[in-house]
Chains A and B, each alone.
Chain A
């Protein structure tokens, strides 16, 4: 089945969305967002995979001697990972501030604005 890797990416995304929507804890919600984001890594790498391909690095293989996987999506995945890690850090620091101000990390209890 040649579309299975793509479908796994979609399944990961939806399962992450489900987790975020039903979450009772903001830290858990940030974790679910990371699951959604990892679905994009799976999708990108699945798009770029080539049968019998090796890494697109020519320091020890002769150019043209072997098929290589798609370097463009690898670069995009790298981009994605870096942004994912730092944005997760930013969201977690927001959760720390919310926990300090409101004494709760349950999103359903955060229904008021406070300074």
Chain B
């Protein structure tokens, strides 16, 4: 398909979507209005189950089964990235050179590292009480480890980051979520039902299974992001394409150009 024809198809499709979307919007409840039936019921259910953060209650209690699917997408993406970015036969691994870092950068990154790590763990642990939770806290924890890459260099990061262990922990986080769901089955309730005592409102132990599922997600997200970043950093810093690619390069270019010319 020529690029001109493609643009026409896009314009027709885009106009169709735009017309339908505007028609649909004109029938939506007005922006900022008071009509939120699902929201009102979710708030009611969260308070009945002693979970102060309604968003966490929706994610880890009322819609816990959906969160399992979402977590599986995350897990699948991490596995897919690990498979796609592995070292191939014609690539060599070069140990990176030690880098020099400006002293102020090193100082502030080293100070920020433990603070960020603590904030991340706090956000995970207080997911059922205050804004945040396993998803957000996990990303903060994973980011804090990479401050070492900024502060010192890649080899220092590698020393605190055995990727194999993080891959295992990533899978363990996913498994822990499933096991909490299966534990509900053992007590006679449905899969992923909140079966623990709800506890006192607005304390760390409130919410029943919400803090447990939150922690499982926190472990999985933190380890998943560390593994993802490790694979991308490997590609950028360590893996060099070998000689085998040199000859393939010429062939690839030639074929690609021929095809492109034939197509136009």
Contact = CB atoms under 8 A, between A and B. Distances in A.
Contact of A21 (B7, B54, B78): B7
Interface residues of A, number: 59
Interface range on chain B: under 10, 10 to 19, 20 to 34, or 35 or more? 35 or more
Contacts of B59: 75, 78-79
Given A6-B28, A17-B10, A71-B54, A86 B39 contact: no
A7 B22 contact: yes
A8 to B, nearest CB: 10
Given A14-B14, A50-B33, A22 B7 contact: yes
Interface of B: 3, 6-7, 10, 14, 17-18, 21-22, 25-26, 28, 30-34, 36, 38-39, 42-43, 46-47, 52-55, 57-59, 63, 66-67, 70, 73-74, 77-78, 80-81, 84-85, 88, 129-131, 133, 135-136, 202, 221, 224, 228, 231-232, 235, 241, 245, 249, 252-253, 255-257, 259-260, 263
21 contacts: A3-B31, A6-B25, A10-B21, A17-B10, A18-B10, A57-B54, A58-B52, A63-B43, A70-B38, A71-B46, A74-B55, A75-B55, A78-B59, A78-B135, A81-B135, A93-B80, A97-B84, A100-B88, A102-B256, A103-B249, A112-B256
Given A22-B7, A82-B74, A100-B245, 11 more contacts: A2-B30, A3-B25, A7-B21, A10-B21, A51-B34, A56-B39, A69-B39, A75-B58, A94-B84, A96-B235, A108-B263
